[in-house]
Amino acid sequence: MTFQEKFVLNFIEDNRWRYLVEGLQNTIIITFFALIVGVVLGFTIALIRVTHDRTGKLKILNGIAKLYLTVIRGTPVLIQLMIMYYVVFAPFAGISKIVTAVMAFGINSGAYVAEIFRSGIMSVDNGQMEAGRSLGLNYNKTMWLIVMPQAIKNILPALGNEFITLLKETSVAGYIAIQDLTKGGDIIRSRTYEPFLPLLAVALIYLSVVLVLQAGVNKLERRLGKSDRR
């Protein structure tokens, strides 16, 4: 078979390219919403941890947060996904598997994002907090207006890294029979018995999405970095 014939067989015949398009759609939906869940969760956990370490308040919440970090970071995401599907969401059969995946990946990513946020907050000199408080701003306002903007600037590269990791980790969603990008490529292979082209296509699509993500992060980094110029 020539390359052209292989290409036609894998992507054109029976409209097989649609497996990839639909798969990509699901991958992006899962990644996008898991990212939101992860950032919100991670941000909250980081605030609890930092507030506890600095003021000694929120003891119980801090304990829960620590347990969450240990369990989530100590077990494989695939196991978490399957527990979410076969155990946690099992009683709710009507709920879309996409929602299950979003929750599993979001909760997983949240643990990593939490530590990234925490390191960012700790990287901001305590004098910034003191300066804000000495002007009469309360703890929350100082955190929000003064500490967070600087923390986020510092952690942007690490956060971008986590988003890329998250996108690629969703490739195990096929284990709970979600037809994501990886699974889409798999289906084509099982129809055509031709592994190379579908896998290559899947790899290239992941790579392109990562490149777009990276470009976005770089742009944001440049914008937030304008105060660094001397």
Partner 1 sequence: MIDVKNLHKSFGDNEVLRGIDEHIAKGEKVVVIGPSGSGKSTFLRCLNLLEKPTQGEIWFEEQNITDKKTNVDKVRQKMGMVFQHFNLFPHLTVQQNITLAPINLKLQTKQEADANALRLLERIGLADKANSYPNMLSGGQKQRIAIVRALAMNPDVMLFDEPTSALDPEMVGEVLQLMKELANEGMTMVVVTHEMGFAKEVGTRVLFMDEGVIMEQNTPLQLFENPQSTRLKEFLSKVL
Whole-number minimum distance, CB 147 to partner 1, in Å?
Answer: 10
Q: Quick check: 56 binds partner 1 (CB under 8 A)?
A: no
- Determine, following the binding rule CB under 8 A, whether residue 40 of this chain makes contact with partner 1: no
Give yes or no for residue 120 binding partner 1 (CB under 8 A).
no
Q: How far is CA 12 from CA 110, 183, 203, 208, in A?
A: 40, 18, 18, 21
Report the residue from 54, 73, 141, 219 that binds partner 1 according to the rule CB under 8 A: 141
Selected binder of partner 1 within 145, 200, 203, 212 (CB under 8 A): 145
Q: Given the rule CB under 8 A, which of 3-11, 28-36, 143-151, 183-191 is the region that contacts partner 1?
A: 143-151
Q: What values do phi and psi take at 143, rounded to 5?
A: -60, -50
**Candidate list 59, 222, 223, 226; residue touching partner 1; CB under 8 A:** 226
Beta carbons of 158 and 116 less than 8 angstroms apart = yes
Q: Residue 223, interface with partner 1 (CB under 8 A)?
A: no
CB of 120 to partner 1, least distance (A): 13
Check residue 227 for interaction with partner 1 (CB under 8 A): yes
User: Contact with partner 1 (CB under 8 A): which of 71, 125, 203, 215?
Assistant: 125
What lies within 8 Å, CB to CB, of 115 at 6+ separation is 42, 46, 69
Candidates 18, 64, 76, 149; binder of partner 1 (CB under 8 A) is: 149
Q: Which residue stretches of 12-90 are H helix? A: 17-55, 59-74, 77-83
Query: Can you give the length of the chain in residues?
Result: 230
How far CA 209 is from CA of 27, 60, 195, in Å, comes to 10, 40, 22
Distances in Å between the alpha carbon of 193 and those of 6, 46, 187, 203? 11, 48, 10, 18
Q: Which residue has the tokens 């699901």?
A: 26
Phi/psi at 207 (nearest 5 deg)? -60, -45
Residue 132 or 174: the one with the smaller Cβ distance to partner 1 is 132
* Amino acid occupying residue 86: Y
Q: Could you tell me how many residues of this chain bind partner 1 (CB under 8 A)?
A: 24
Give the binding site for partner 1 (CB under 8 A). Answer: 125, 127-128, 130-138, 141, 145-146, 149-150, 153, 224, 226-230
